[in-house]
Structure 1
Protein backbone atom coordinates (compact mmCIF):
# COMPACT_ATOMS: atom_id res chain seq x y z
CA UNK A 1 0.00 0.00 0.00
CA UNK A 2 1.33 3.43 -0.88
CA UNK A 3 1.00 6.76 0.83
CA UNK A 4 0.29 9.95 -1.05
CA UNK A 5 0.51 13.63 -0.28
CA UNK A 6 -2.56 15.56 -1.40
CA UNK A 7 -2.83 19.33 -1.68
CA UNK A 8 -5.63 21.64 -2.73
CA UNK A 9 -6.79 25.22 -2.43
CA UNK A 10 -10.22 26.67 -2.98
CA UNK A 11 -11.78 30.10 -3.12
CA UNK A 12 -14.62 31.84 -4.94
CA UNK A 13 -12.36 33.77 -7.34
CA UNK A 14 -10.17 32.34 -10.09
CA UNK A 15 -6.39 32.62 -10.08
CA UNK A 16 -5.00 35.90 -11.33
CA UNK A 17 -2.44 35.87 -14.16
CA UNK A 18 0.27 36.73 -11.61
CA UNK A 19 -0.75 33.81 -9.37
CA UNK A 20 -0.82 31.44 -12.35
CA UNK A 21 2.68 32.56 -13.35
CA UNK A 22 3.92 32.12 -9.77
CA UNK A 23 2.49 28.59 -9.62
CA UNK A 24 4.13 27.67 -12.91
CA UNK A 25 7.44 29.05 -11.66
CA UNK A 26 7.17 27.06 -8.41
CA UNK A 27 6.33 23.81 -10.21
CA UNK A 28 9.17 24.25 -12.70
CA UNK A 29 11.65 25.06 -9.94
CA UNK A 30 10.50 22.17 -7.80
CA UNK A 31 10.85 19.69 -10.64
CA UNK A 32 14.35 20.86 -11.54
CA UNK A 33 15.51 20.59 -7.90
CA UNK A 34 13.68 17.35 -7.06
CA UNK A 35 16.11 14.96 -5.32
CA UNK A 36 15.08 11.74 -7.13
CA UNK A 37 14.14 12.11 -10.80
CA UNK A 38 12.87 8.51 -10.88
CA UNK A 39 10.23 9.24 -8.19
CA UNK A 40 6.93 11.08 -8.53
CA UNK A 41 7.19 14.80 -7.81
CA UNK A 42 4.80 17.71 -7.41
CA UNK A 43 1.86 17.07 -9.71
CA UNK A 44 -1.00 19.51 -10.24
CA UNK A 45 -4.28 18.31 -11.74
CA UNK A 46 -5.87 19.95 -14.73
CA UNK A 47 -8.76 22.29 -13.92
CA UNK A 48 -11.92 20.37 -13.00
CA UNK A 49 -15.20 22.08 -13.86
CA UNK A 50 -17.04 19.88 -11.35
CA UNK A 51 -15.07 21.62 -8.57
CA UNK A 52 -15.52 25.30 -9.53
CA UNK A 53 -13.99 26.77 -6.36
CA UNK A 54 -10.82 24.65 -6.52
CA UNK A 55 -7.98 26.81 -7.83
CA UNK A 56 -5.05 24.46 -7.14
CA UNK A 57 -5.10 20.69 -6.61
CA UNK A 58 -2.66 17.86 -6.92
CA UNK A 59 -1.07 14.82 -5.35
CA UNK A 60 2.19 12.93 -5.17
CA UNK A 61 2.70 9.25 -4.40
CA UNK A 62 5.55 8.91 -1.92
CA UNK A 63 8.42 6.49 -2.60
CA UNK A 64 8.44 2.95 -1.23
CA UNK A 65 12.14 3.24 -0.32
CA UNK A 66 12.25 4.38 3.34
CA UNK A 67 15.52 6.26 2.76
CA UNK A 68 13.83 8.42 0.12
CA UNK A 69 10.55 9.22 1.86
CA UNK A 70 11.77 12.03 4.13
CA UNK A 71 13.87 13.90 1.53
CA UNK A 72 10.98 13.71 -0.96
CA UNK A 73 8.40 14.74 1.62
CA UNK A 74 10.50 17.66 2.87
CA UNK A 75 10.99 18.87 -0.69
CA UNK A 76 7.27 18.54 -1.45
CA UNK A 77 6.20 20.32 1.73
CA UNK A 78 8.54 23.18 0.87
CA UNK A 79 6.99 23.40 -2.58
CA UNK A 80 3.43 23.29 -1.26
CA UNK A 81 4.38 25.98 1.25
CA UNK A 82 5.53 28.14 -1.68
CA UNK A 83 2.25 27.44 -3.49
CA UNK A 84 0.23 28.49 -0.44
CA UNK A 85 2.23 31.69 -0.14
CA UNK A 86 1.61 32.40 -3.84
CA UNK A 87 -2.16 32.01 -3.30
CA UNK A 88 -2.56 33.12 0.34
CA UNK A 89 -6.24 34.02 0.36
CA UNK A 90 -7.46 30.51 -0.48
CA UNK A 91 -8.61 27.76 1.86
CA UNK A 92 -5.80 25.17 1.78
CA UNK A 93 -5.77 21.50 2.75
CA UNK A 94 -2.59 19.43 2.71
CA UNK A 95 -2.70 15.85 3.94
CA UNK A 96 -0.98 12.48 3.88
CA UNK A 97 -3.84 10.19 2.98
CA UNK A 98 -6.24 10.92 5.90
CA UNK A 99 -3.80 12.86 8.12
CA UNK A 100 -4.01 16.67 7.80
CA UNK A 101 -0.65 18.41 8.01
CA UNK A 102 -0.37 21.54 10.15
CA UNK A 103 0.44 25.01 8.82
CA UNK A 104 2.75 27.45 10.58
CA UNK A 105 2.96 31.02 9.26
CA UNK A 106 6.73 31.20 9.64
CA UNK A 107 7.69 27.58 8.90
CA UNK A 108 5.01 26.51 6.42
CA UNK A 109 3.78 22.92 6.24
CA UNK A 110 5.55 20.39 8.44
CA UNK A 111 5.33 16.91 9.92
CA UNK A 112 4.54 17.13 13.63
CA UNK A 113 6.89 15.25 15.96
Structure 2
Protein backbone atom coordinates (compact mmCIF):
# COMPACT_ATOMS: atom_id res chain seq x y z
CA UNK A 1 0.00 0.00 0.00
CA UNK A 2 1.41 3.37 -0.92
CA UNK A 3 0.88 6.76 0.67
CA UNK A 4 0.96 9.98 -1.32
CA UNK A 5 1.07 13.68 -0.62
CA UNK A 6 -1.40 15.57 -2.82
CA UNK A 7 -1.50 19.28 -3.55
CA UNK A 8 -4.00 21.44 -5.42
CA UNK A 9 -3.94 25.19 -6.01
CA UNK A 10 -6.93 27.22 -7.17
CA UNK A 11 -7.56 30.83 -8.09
CA UNK A 12 -10.06 32.62 -10.30
CA UNK A 13 -7.29 34.07 -12.48
CA UNK A 14 -4.58 32.00 -14.20
CA UNK A 15 -0.96 32.34 -13.12
CA UNK A 16 0.86 35.35 -14.52
CA UNK A 17 4.05 34.93 -16.53
CA UNK A 18 6.11 35.93 -13.50
CA UNK A 19 4.26 33.45 -11.28
CA UNK A 20 4.73 30.65 -13.83
CA UNK A 21 8.45 31.46 -13.99
CA UNK A 22 8.68 31.43 -10.18
CA UNK A 23 6.89 28.07 -10.09
CA UNK A 24 9.33 26.63 -12.63
CA UNK A 25 12.35 28.03 -10.74
CA UNK A 26 11.18 26.68 -7.37
CA UNK A 27 10.33 23.28 -8.87
CA UNK A 28 13.74 23.05 -10.59
CA UNK A 29 15.52 23.96 -7.32
CA UNK A 30 13.45 21.31 -5.52
CA UNK A 31 14.49 18.64 -8.00
CA UNK A 32 18.15 19.70 -7.85
CA UNK A 33 18.23 19.41 -4.05
CA UNK A 34 15.94 16.38 -3.65
CA UNK A 35 17.69 13.88 -1.35
CA UNK A 36 16.83 10.65 -3.20
CA UNK A 37 17.16 10.39 -6.97
CA UNK A 38 15.41 7.03 -6.96
CA UNK A 39 12.25 8.32 -5.21
CA UNK A 40 9.34 10.35 -6.54
CA UNK A 41 9.81 14.10 -6.10
CA UNK A 42 7.52 17.11 -6.48
CA UNK A 43 5.31 16.39 -9.48
CA UNK A 44 2.68 18.56 -11.16
CA UNK A 45 0.29 17.20 -13.74
CA UNK A 46 -1.53 19.26 -16.38
CA UNK A 47 -4.47 21.11 -14.87
CA UNK A 48 -7.84 19.48 -15.43
CA UNK A 49 -11.23 20.75 -16.46
CA UNK A 50 -11.63 23.06 -13.47
CA UNK A 51 -10.74 26.54 -14.81
CA UNK A 52 -9.91 27.68 -11.26
CA UNK A 53 -7.20 25.03 -10.84
CA UNK A 54 -3.77 26.54 -11.55
CA UNK A 55 -1.55 23.73 -10.17
CA UNK A 56 -2.13 20.16 -9.04
CA UNK A 57 0.12 17.24 -8.30
CA UNK A 58 1.30 14.57 -5.95
CA UNK A 59 4.35 12.81 -4.56
CA UNK A 60 4.29 9.11 -3.67
CA UNK A 61 6.06 8.48 -0.38
CA UNK A 62 8.95 6.04 -0.26
CA UNK A 63 8.28 2.50 0.92
CA UNK A 64 11.41 2.72 3.11
CA UNK A 65 10.20 4.26 6.41
CA UNK A 66 13.61 5.88 6.98
CA UNK A 67 13.17 7.94 3.86
CA UNK A 68 9.58 9.08 4.41
CA UNK A 69 10.15 11.99 6.76
CA UNK A 70 13.04 13.52 4.78
CA UNK A 71 10.94 13.31 1.59
CA UNK A 72 7.82 14.73 3.27
CA UNK A 73 9.85 17.58 4.78
CA UNK A 74 11.53 18.40 1.48
CA UNK A 75 8.28 18.41 -0.49
CA UNK A 76 6.40 20.43 2.16
CA UNK A 77 9.25 22.98 2.27
CA UNK A 78 8.99 23.33 -1.52
CA UNK A 79 5.20 23.70 -1.34
CA UNK A 80 5.65 26.37 1.33
CA UNK A 81 7.97 28.30 -0.96
CA UNK A 82 5.53 27.91 -3.85
CA UNK A 83 2.56 29.09 -1.78
CA UNK A 84 4.46 32.19 -0.73
CA UNK A 85 5.33 32.91 -4.37
CA UNK A 86 1.68 32.65 -5.48
CA UNK A 87 -0.38 35.19 -3.54
CA UNK A 88 -4.15 35.05 -3.67
CA UNK A 89 -4.30 31.30 -4.23
CA UNK A 90 -6.33 28.69 -2.38
CA UNK A 91 -4.28 25.62 -1.40
CA UNK A 92 -5.25 22.13 -0.32
CA UNK A 93 -2.38 19.86 0.76
CA UNK A 94 -3.03 16.45 2.22
CA UNK A 95 -1.27 13.17 2.97
CA UNK A 96 -3.92 10.74 1.73
CA UNK A 97 -6.84 11.56 4.10
CA UNK A 98 -4.86 13.77 6.51
CA UNK A 99 -4.89 17.52 5.77
CA UNK A 100 -1.50 19.17 6.22
CA UNK A 101 -1.98 22.41 8.16
CA UNK A 102 -0.70 25.79 7.00
CA UNK A 103 1.02 28.09 9.46
CA UNK A 104 1.94 31.63 8.34
CA UNK A 105 5.26 31.55 10.19
CA UNK A 106 6.31 27.94 9.60
CA UNK A 107 4.50 27.06 6.37
CA UNK A 108 3.44 23.47 5.76
CA UNK A 109 4.62 21.08 8.45
CA UNK A 110 3.71 17.94 10.33
CA UNK A 111 4.45 17.46 14.04
CA UNK A 112 8.12 16.58 14.58
CA UNK A 113 9.04 17.24 10.96
CA UNK A 114 11.69 19.82 11.87
CA UNK A 115 13.34 17.59 14.50
CA UNK A 116 16.84 17.00 13.04
CA UNK A 117 17.07 13.53 14.58
CA UNK A 118 13.82 12.45 12.96
CA UNK A 119 14.72 13.97 9.56
CA UNK A 120 17.94 11.96 9.30
CA UNK A 121 17.75 8.61 7.60
CA UNK A 122 18.59 5.80 10.06
CA UNK A 123 22.23 4.82 9.66
CA UNK A 124 22.89 8.04 7.69
CA UNK A 125 25.17 10.96 8.51
Q: Smaller-chain TM-score range?
A: over 0.9
TM-score by length of 2: 0.87
RMSD (CA atoms): 0.9
Residue equivalent to 1:92: 91
How far the C-alpha of 1:46 sits from its partner, in A, is 1.2
Kindly provide the CA deviation profile for residues 56-103 of structure 1, in whole angstroms up to 9, marking residues without a partner as x: 111000000010000000000000101111112111000000110100
Kindly provide the CA deviation profile for residues 5-59 of structure 1, in whole angstroms up to 9, marking residues without a partner as x: 00111011000000000000011000000000000000011132x1110011110
Partners of 2:111 and 2:71 in 1: CA distance: 16
Is the 1:102–1:112 Cα contact (8 Å) retained in structure 2? no
Residue equivalent to 2:3: 3
Question: Tell me, which stretches of 5 or more residues in structure 2 are unaligned?
Answer: 113-125
Is 1:42 the counterpart of 2:42? The answer is yes
TM-score by length of 1: 0.96
Query: Which stretches of structure 1, 4 residues or more, deviate above 4 A after TM superposition?
Result: none
Partners of 1:63 and 1:88 in 2: CA distance: 31
> Relative contact order: is structure 1 or structure 2 higher (C-alpha 8 Å, sep ≥ 6)?
1
Question: Tell me, which stretches of 5 or more residues in structure 1 are unaligned?
Answer: none
Residue equivalent to 2:75: 76
How far the C-alpha of 1:112 sits from its partner, in A, is 3.1
Is the 1:9–1:90 Cα contact (8 Å) retained in structure 2? yes
Partners of 1:55 and 1:44 in 2: CA distance: 10
Partners of 1:47 and 1:109 in 2: CA distance: 22
Partners of 2:47 and 2:94 in 1: CA distance: 20
